[in-house]
Amino acid sequence: MNITQLPFIKEIYGFLGHDLTATVTGILIILVFVPLNSAFLVWVERKVAGHIQLRPGPMEVGPHGILQTLIDAVKLMSKEMITPKLADKFLFWLAPIIIIIPAIVCFVVIPFSPLMQVREMNVGILLIFSFSSITVLSILMGGWASNNKYALIGAVRAVAQNVAYEIPLLLSTMSIIIMTNSFKMSEITAAQSPVWFIVYQPVAAIIFFISTTAETNRAPFDLVEAESELVSGFHTEYTGMRFALFFLAEYTNMFIAASMGAVLFFGGWHGPFFPGLIWFVVKVYILIFVIIWVRWTFPRLRFDQLMNFAWKFMIPVALINLMITAIVLKVL
């Protein structure tokens, strides 16, 4: 007696049909999963940062401070959402909304395990890249609209940084896609069953991780919200739930970047004897730990060094890597 025969669900299942119900339930699960996951990530970051700095991190709320992010969310909800006087009201209100939408949509194509994937699209990787470039638009909108000099400088930096680091990201992913010649995420993971792609493409992996760190505005490339220079960059004027949305988007983007890294280079849900989902989640959280670890170790790059690093080093190396992969594939 599978689930679709239950009285209440039967009508919906009959009305929507198999495919649509699967997608709707998938999206509902994602809508629950995203806030919980980013709340958990915030807690993980504060704990790891604390222990790196020889202090315990949040301990007050719940065992080992596990409810800390929940309390933060309640605090942010109760805080007043201030709009600066001369701000561009509409854009100021729109920016946090636009930053959340791509963060959630990108989850549609991520293969958590062979069965658990909301919807298999043949444009999988392309969808994630196109949506993740919308976040730059919302950062610019937020920075410009809040009528604050620091925010404006932060927003302008965000645009230049994301444009510069989008290219090496695409090039390094292209070298994977040539090998599997398909954008489907499940096919990419399937192609990695015997040997993970990181073995074939170590250079592409390094470039991929450096550019995703820059893409999600995480240190050492966090010039967009550099505490010591721009107070806190584009979201200086945001308070209350709007600031929480920016915060949520940042950690969700980090999760998406880590899961893409896991799918492209570490063989998604492939693993010896545990079920697929466990392997996928373990790999993603290890990658997230690396991103957090990098943040609390390195100083921040200056803006022109950031640009030179992208244009003069990352893009040439990515191109060469792509060429070599193409030649090797031609020869084999």
Residue in 45, 166, 215, 222 binding another protein, rule: CB under 8 A: 222
Nearest to 27 by CA among 100, 106, 113: 106
For residue 231, the minimal CB distance to another protein (Å) is 7
What angle do the packed helices 240-265 and 149-180 form, to 10 degrees? Answer: 20
Q: Which stretch binds another protein (CB under 8 A): 10-18, 47-55, 93-101, 108-116?
A: 47-55
Q: Which stretch binds another protein (CB under 8 A): 78-86, 138-146, 300-308, 321-329?
A: 300-308
Nearer Cβ to another protein, position 55 or 330? 55
52: Cβ contacts below 8 Å, ≥ 6 apart: 293, 296, 297
Amino acid at the residue 106: C
For residue 299, the minimal CB distance to another protein (Å) is 4
The answer to the question of residue 311 lying near another protein (CB under 8 A) is no
Retrieve residue 141's tokens. Answer: 């909108």
The answer to the question of residue 63 lying near another protein (CB under 8 A) is no
The answer to the question of residue 296 lying near another protein (CB under 8 A) is yes
For residue 230, the minimal CB distance to another protein (Å) is 8
User: HSE of 199 in the Cβ direction (CA atoms, 13 Å)?
Assistant: 6
Nearer Cβ to another protein, position 35 or 220? 220
Retrieve residue 282's tokens. Answer: 């373990």
Which residues, numbered 135-174, are part of the site for another protein (CB under 8 A)?
A: 149-150, 153
| Residue 183: DSSP 8-state | -
What angle do the packed helices 315-331 and 149-180 form, to 10 degrees? Answer: 10
Nearest to 301 by CA among 152, 159, 161, 149: 161
Where does this chain bind another protein (CB under 8 A)? 48-49, 51-56, 59, 149-150, 153, 219-220, 222-223, 226-229, 231, 293-294, 296-305, 313
